[in-house]
Structure 1
Amino acid sequence: MQMLLIPMAPQVAAFAVAALLLSAAPLAHGQAASAPAPAPAAPKTITAVLTKAGQFTKFLQLLQSTQEADQITNQLKGKKSNGGLTVFAPPDNAFSALPAGTLNALSDQQKTSLVQFHVVAQLLPMAQLDTVSNPLRTQAGDTGRGKYPLNITSDGAQQVNISTGVVNATVDSTLYSGDRLVVYQVNKVLLPWALYGPPVPAPAPSPADRKKKKAGVAAEADAPVAETAAGTTASEAGEGMRAGGALVAAVVVAAMCWGM
C-alpha cells in the first residue's frame, strides 16, 4: 500500500508554523514568570571587610574579644532607620607604634570603650566628613571634656584629620562603602582622653561662688563670742582661771615659808 503525499501550499505551511509558535509561547512565558527573583545581597560584616583588606589582625582581635564585631553585625541587620555605621580602622602597624603596655594596662570594659571609640552610629561618606558637627559622638558615649570627644576636620585638600585630644590621626583610605556601612583606614589608633589623657583640672569657681564664699567668711568673723553660764565670755573665764591659779600658788608658798 502506498502512502500518498499531498503537497501543501506555501500559505498553508506558513499558517501551520505560526500556530505552532503561538501554542509554545504561553509555556515559555509561564516558565519565565515562575523563576524566583534573586535574593538581595547580605550586608557586609566588619569582619569580612577587614579580613579581605588584610593587615588589620590586631583590630580584628579587639573587635572579636570585646564582642563588638557581633554587635556591629546585629546593628547592620536592624532597621534601615538606624542610619548605618562608620568605622575607623587602624592597621597593624598603627598598633605596633604604640608604647609597650598601652593595651595590656586596660581592663575588659576599657578595651570595649576603646573599640567603641572607633565606631560612629551614623553613615558618614567621605563627602560629609568635612561638614560633621564636632565633637562627634562615637559609641563610647560621653563627648564632654576629658571623656570621649572626637573631632574631624578637613584642610580642603582631600585630607581628613581626626583629633581625640591625645592623638592626631588622618584618614588614609576608604576600605569599604556600602548602603549601611563605611569603613575608613586611619594611620593611628584613636586613643580617647578618658583612658589616656591627663586629668582634667577642676573648673575655676564662678564670680557668684567666690562672692558667696567671701560672705560666709565675713559672717563667721562677725559672729559673737560664746559666753559661759556665768555671763562671761570664754576668754574672760580663761583669764579668771589663770588668775585664781596664781593666787593659790602664792598662798601655798607663804604657808611653807611660815612653817619654816
Structure 2
Amino acid sequence: MAASVLLASFLMLTCLLLAEGKTHRVAPGPAAGPLNLTTILEKSGQYKTLLRLLKETQVGVQIQSQLNNSYNGLTLFAPTDNAFSSLKAGALNGLNNQEQVSLVLYHVLPRFYSPSMFESSSNPVNTQASGSDGVYTLNVTGTSNQVNISTGVDQAEISNILYSEFPLTVYSIDKVLLPYQLFGPKPPEAAPAPAPVAAHKKKHKKAAEDLAAAPAADADIKASGTRLKKSKLMWGLALWGFLFFVGSLM
C-alpha cells in the first residue's frame, strides 16, 4: 500500500515538473538577418558623420550591394566622429559632390583583409576610389600588435575591430584618411608666357625707324613745296613775257 502511494506521488510530481518546464520554455531567438553595414556602425554610436556621408554619397548602398555579390569581400576603415571633428574647418564643405564620393570610397578596400593579412600585403594598396592610373592608393603596414595606414598627407592607426567575418571587415580608425589628390599641396599656377623676344625687338626697331624717318619726311615735304612755288613763279613770268611780246606786235 505504501509503495503504491509512493509510486503515485512520484508520478504526480513528475507530471507537475514536466508541465512547469513546458510553461516556462524560452522561445528561440529570431534568425540572424543579412549582413548590414549601417547596423554595425550604429551599434557603437561613434560614427554619425561617416553614416551621414555614406547616405549622402550613396556609397553605403553601393557597399551593401557589393557585399551581396562580391567574391572578394570588402574592408572599411571607419573614422570616428572625433576623427572628423579634428579636421580643419571647411575641409569637408570645401569638397564638391564627386570629391566627397571619392573621399568615402578612399576608406573602402575592394577585398576582405583580416589584421594578419596586412602583415604580408604589398604596397600601395588600391581602394574603391583607385583608377587605372594608380591614384587614391594607401600604404598599409601591419604587425601583430598594430596596423598603420598612410595616405601621403596623414597617417592613421586601427584602434578597434568593429566586425570581421567574411565578406566584411570594419576597422575603427583615429584619423580621416586624406587622399593626396584632394588634400595634397597644389602645384603653382603657370606664369603667363612672355612675348617672343625676336618679335618684341622687331616691334621696337620699327617704331625707332618710324621715329627717325619722321624728320626726313617733313624735310621732303617742305622741299617739294618750295620747288612747287618756284615752278609756279617761272611759269607765271614766262606767260607774262609771252603776252608782252604779242602785245608789242599789235
Give the TM-score, by structure 2 length: 0.63
Q: Post-superposition shift, 1:144?
A: 5.4
Gaps of 5+ in 2: 1-29, 190-197, 199-204, 231-250
Indicate how the Cα distance of structure 1 residues 46 and 251 shifts in structure 2: closer, same or farther if over 3 A, else same. Answer: closer
CA deviation profile, 1:44-86 (whole Å, cap 9, x unmatched): 221111111221111111111111111111111115x3x0000
Number of residue pairs aligned between Structure 1 and Structure 2: 186
Rg (Cα) greater in structure: 2
SS of corresponding position for 2:160: strand
Is residue 2:165 matched to residue 1:195? no
CA distance in 1, matches of 2:129, 2:181: 10
Distance 1:196 1:247, change over 3 A: closer
Q: Given that residues 137 and 143 in structure 1 are in contact (C-alpha distance below 8 angstroms), is that contact kept between their aligned partners in structure 2?
A: no
CA positional deviation for 1:130 = 2.2
1:58-137 equivalences under 5 Å are 58-79=49-70, 81=71, 83-137=72-126
Q: Which of 162, 167, 170 is matched with 1:180 structurally?
A: 167
Q: Does 1:151 align with 2:142?
A: no
One-letter amino acid of the counterpart of residue 71, structure 1: Q
Residue 38 of structure 2 aligns with which residue? 47
Deviating more after overlay: 156-165 vs 90-99: 156-165
Tell whether the 8 Å contact from 2:79 to 2:172 is kept in structure 1 after alignment.
yes
Question: How many angstroms apart in 2 are the aligned matches of 1:143 and 1:189?
Answer: 24
Give matches, 1:243-258, under 5 Å. 246=216, 249=219, 252-253=222-223, 256=226
135, 151, 165: which one aligns with 2:152:
165
CA contact (8 A) 1:136 1:143 kept: no
Q: 1:252 to 1:136 in 2, by over 3 A?
A: same
Name the % identity. 43
Which amino acid is 1:187 matched to? D
Secondary structure in structure 1 of the residue aligned to 2:84: helix
| Runs of 4+ in structure 1 over 6 Å off | none
Inter-CA distance 133–252: structure 2 relative to 1 (3 Å threshold): same
State the match for 2:27 in structure 1: none
Q: Aligned runs of 1:28-47 on 2, under 5 Å?
A: 41-47=32-38
Whose helix proportion is higher, 1 or 2? 2
Pair 173,253 (structure 1): closer, same or farther in 2 beyond 3 Å: same
Whether the 8 Å CA contact 2:79–2:173 is kept in 1: the answer is yes
8 Å Cα contact 1:116-1:139 kept in structure 2? yes
Q: Which amino acid aligns with 1:58?
A: T
